[in-house]
Amino acid sequence: MDDIRSMTALELGGAIRAGTVGCAEAARAYLDAVKEFDGDIGAYISVFEDEALAEAEEAQRRLAAGGLGDSPLFGVPTAVKDVICVKGRRTTAASKMLDGFKPPYDAHVAERLAAAGAVMLGKLNLDEFAMGGSTETSYYGVTRNPWDLSRVSGGSSGGSAAAVAAGLAPYALGSDTGGSIRQPSAFCGVTGIKPTYGSVSRYGLLAYASSLDQIGPIGRDVWDCAAALAAISGKDRRDSTSVMEAPFDFSGVREGAEAAVSLGTPYRGFKVALPKNYFDAGLSEDVKAATLGAAREMERLGADVEETGIPLLEYAVPAYYIIACAEASSNLSRYDGVKYGFRSEKAEDVLGVYYKSRSEGFGTEVKRRVMLGSFVLSSGYFDAYYKKALQVRGLIKRAFDEVLGKYDFILSPVSPTVAYKIGGQIEDPLAMYMADIYTVSLNLAGLPGVALPCGFGEGGMPVGMQLIGGAFSEPLLVKAAGIWQSVTDYHKKRAKVLGNGI
């Protein structure tokens, strides 16, 4: 069983197709690990044991009949962040407001995973309604970092990153509104891709901020992430922002990366931007050293690394929180205690249903963001805040486009620090918001980013770096990340807590 959990998702898929591992055997290995270890981690909100085993048995029958044998993730277990709807299965957004809610339909990405032959293990923990950076605001409890159980796993997709890092899922899906795939991936020493906005359908994703949200994969390495992204990307007529007619095609990218590595200078021909203002005050010395060390290694391997500047970075966080909270205020207005979700038993009239259900059903951080969003959308403040934030968003997008017109990708930190102690920032919302400084600008600009391990910092905790590319440049970013993971072994290091030995 431990051998199964030591494989990457693609290695496991290959073993299943070769017949050396059965689909039910793979599912059972992970389900047993969840039972044994997740009480300490808290990565899962719901586990679908019976359904997963039934899906695995059906996958084995399909494989025996010659169906979908060419799908690289066929029969491989997975789990998804609990803001992604799976028909008939509890979907909570980690909120009391939706405790017990079972959607009557599948999200587009759930449909695509099923079509690829994936086996659904369960739903993963997050900050309530994806609002947070530590997975401490979940109604169902904190998700702990597998590298150090006293530290946060990051957020809001902390459950997804922790599950992969702890060997409780071979790969997982998260969502990224302001860094929620990349930051927990960095904190937990795994790899995550925030795709270009519009490349993956948001249909069936419980919305936080609709112009910023994007679903993406988290895996052991970038090749697992690329396989998952290829499976879930592409056009969906039910999402008006879905703009890719065909899914991403990474065929040949791995071969290209391996061929480049064999030449000895695999980054030759790559132009890499290193933003000087990303390494100013506020960045911890261990994260700075690891990220700059990665830049020097790329340069040694042939890359043309140049320092540059990306203006307006200091305005990214305030612009992001104004826009995100405004959209959250609108999106979360549907949770009123009438149509579905939690309804207060203390209400005595219609207004009481609205007021008490929302007061009791939402947590503190969600209320904070809804109130901020309502304020910036209110009469007299709309132009002063929301309109200006949209203008800043346009300027930030233009600044990135200008830099990426000259370079293949931008190399930056993911977070100012490694994973911090549980409780370390939850009482200081401003400090937590400012920690998003390196990630939110990509969501504002709609650009893709890959977070991948590049070293270790304080307390032996993983450090992640970020590769940022132009719109729909995922194949290039995957190639660059794949080269990095061919010449380094940071991504192969495993958390040793829980005695999982992987």
The CA-based angle 410-439-389, given to 5 degrees, is: 110
The burial of 64, by beta-carbon neighbours within 10 Å (0-12 exposed, 13-18 middle, 19 or more buried), is given as exposed
180 is an active site residue: yes
CA distance 127 to 289: 30
Catalytic residue among 180, 357, 441, 473: 180
Helix ranges (H only) for 172-252 are 182-188, 222-232
Catalytic residue among 95, 134, 153, 156: 156
Q: Could you tell me if residue 142 is left (phi over 0), alpha (psi between -120 and 50 degrees) or otherwise beta?
A: beta
156 is an active site residue: yes
Query: Tokens standing for 438?
Result: 């390196």
Catalytic residue among 81, 123, 356, 479: 81
CA distance 130 to 115: 26
The CA-based angle 140-144-149, given to 5 degrees, is: 140
Q: For residue 451, which of 459, 442, 460 has the smallest C-alpha distance?
A: 442
Q: Which residues of 228-247 are buried (b: 16+ CB within 10 A; e: fewer)?
A: bbbbbbbebeebebbebeeb
* DSSP state, residue 193: E
Query: Tokens standing for 33?
Result: 């690990």
3-state SS assignment for residue 410: strand
Helix axes 474-487 and 222-232, enclosed angle (nearest 10): 160
Q: For residue 481, which of 277, 152, 217, 145 has the smallest C-alpha distance?
A: 217
CA distance 14 to 21: 9
Please state, in angstroms and as integers, the Cα–Cα distance from residue 83 to each residue in 94, 386, 421, 447, 489, following that order.
Answer: 8, 26, 25, 22, 32
Helix ranges (H only) for 65-181 are 108-115, 158-165
Q: What count of other Cβ atoms lies within 10 Å of the Cβ of residue 194?
A: 31
Q: Does the bond joining 156 to the residue before it have cis omega, within 30 degrees of 0? A: yes
251 is an active site residue: no
Query: Tokens standing for 157?
Result: 């997709």
CA distance 122 to 82: 9
Lateral strand order in the sheet of 44-47? 44-47, 119-124, 77-81, 171-175, 215-219, 191-194, 449-456, 462-468, 409-413, 271-275, 304-308
- Name the residues annotated as catalytic: 81, 156, 180
